[in-house]
Amino acid sequence: MNAITHTRRGFLGMSTLFVAGTAVACSSDPQGGAAANGAKVTLTQWYHQYGEEGTQAAVERYAEEFTAAHPDIAVNVVWGPDTSQYETKLNAALLGDDAPDVFELGDFRAEMARGGQLAPLDDVYGDAKADFNPADIDYLTVDGKLYGIKTIDDVMVLYYRRSMLDDAGVRPPTTFAELVDAARDLTSDDVKGLFVGNDGIGDAPYLLAWSGGGELITGDRVVYADAARAVGGLRDLHADGSLLLGFTTDWYDPGAFNQGAAAMQWCGLWAMPAVQEALGDDFGVVPWPAYDGSGTPVARLGGWTQAVNAKSKHVEEAKTYLRWLWIKQTDIQIDWAVKYGFHVPPQTKVAARTPELSKGAAKEAAEISTEYGKSFPTVWTQAMQAGFIGAAADIAKGADPAKALRDAQNDAQNDLDKQLG
């Protein structure tokens, strides 16, 4: 995705207004005016700028279809800048008069719900709540209420090269000890056994904590130091030189795996089309293995969420739009998930009827998403992340896991206490 600098005026000018199934104007007004062309209400919907070709045209088509079915509600689609700039623009807009009615969130944060910025959406879900990935429901629930709807699930899994494992007599790992052994046995002069990121850290600290049965935060307490034994496994991964370090692309790109630089790689489902193109069927996927017999396999879930501005003058109309788009229109949900990238629809029944996810490694990844998916806590902050990853890096170099994690946890607890007031 290209980083593009937009002025505030330029950002808010990239919008298309849809009324009764027609694009009628480009508006520099982020709210699209009080109403347009006979519509009683005009909703403004913000998207960040997706890197995949066709995404902007797709969301505009969805809005057009909605207005054809709901002529009293116009939709002004605003296409924003890239991810980092989008979050900044959104946070500023929600404090002023230019706030959208409906908007995307890359990182759902509980403080936005508790601060009165997000409208609860339990009535939007209705009976469909039971159809959603349980990890998504947990992720979007704050104090017993749902405040967002996931539009895509980005599941991260462990890719492995079938032929390399077969040649080495290695089976896909089901425990962390097996992962360490496999990485070592698959390492040669030309190939490293495992790639988790150029720093040798990546998602591994989270995955180790979760796979050992631990959590990052429970209620109002930061608790990841309790997972010191499992997170200490980083030392084992680094000890025998089986990790690929400093590759030309990082873990979220399949380059290292596709080029044969690593026999196993932690990466996202989004990379699977490129992996299939490069390797055919010479690969498989599994979740991050359980730390030991008392742990559990895990897969990290990312993805984007849509929410409703609690201070909007049109909350009910915004809910009608989200219910139509992300609850009822299953064909649109499939289109959005797999036609402009490769993701899992958050409704498990929709994922099950998505042709592209119906067989092979793609089906296995979708099933892993539902069974083992895990998201960051909604109170997890950038500062907490920096402290945790810093402690993990020290552990990889030989620091005592319990001490390193306790020290970082104390700072994270102070952060959480301030957040919770």
Can you give the pLDDT at residue 24? 67
What is the topology classification, in CATH, of domain 154-301+381-420?
D-Maltodextrin-Binding Protein; domain 2 (3.40.190)
Q: What are phi and psi of 358, to 5 degrees?
A: -95, -5
- Binned at pLDDT 50, 70 and 90, residue 210 comes out as very high
Q: pTM for the complete prediction?
A: 0.92
Report how far residue 66's alpha carbon sits from residue 74's, in angstroms, rounded to the nearest whole number: 9
Alpha-carbon distance 373 to 297, whole Å? 9
pLDDT digits 0-9 by tens, 32-90: 444 556 789 999 999 999 989 999 999 999 999 999 999 999 999 999 887 778 999 99
Answer whether residue 291 shows pLDDT above 70: yes
Residue 28 CB neighbours (<10 A) = 11
- pLDDT, one tens digit per residue, over 222-274 is 999 999 999 999 999 999 999 999 999 999 999 999 999 999 999 999 999 99
Instruction: Measure the CA dihedral 53/137/175/218, to 10°.
Output: 120
Domain 8-153+302-364 CATH superfamily: Periplasmic binding protein-like II (3.40.190.10)
| Domain range list for the chain | 8-153+302-364, 154-301+381-420
The position carrying tokens 């902050």 is 381
**Do the domains 8-153+302-364 and 154-301+381-420 sit in the same CATH topology, yes or no?**
yes
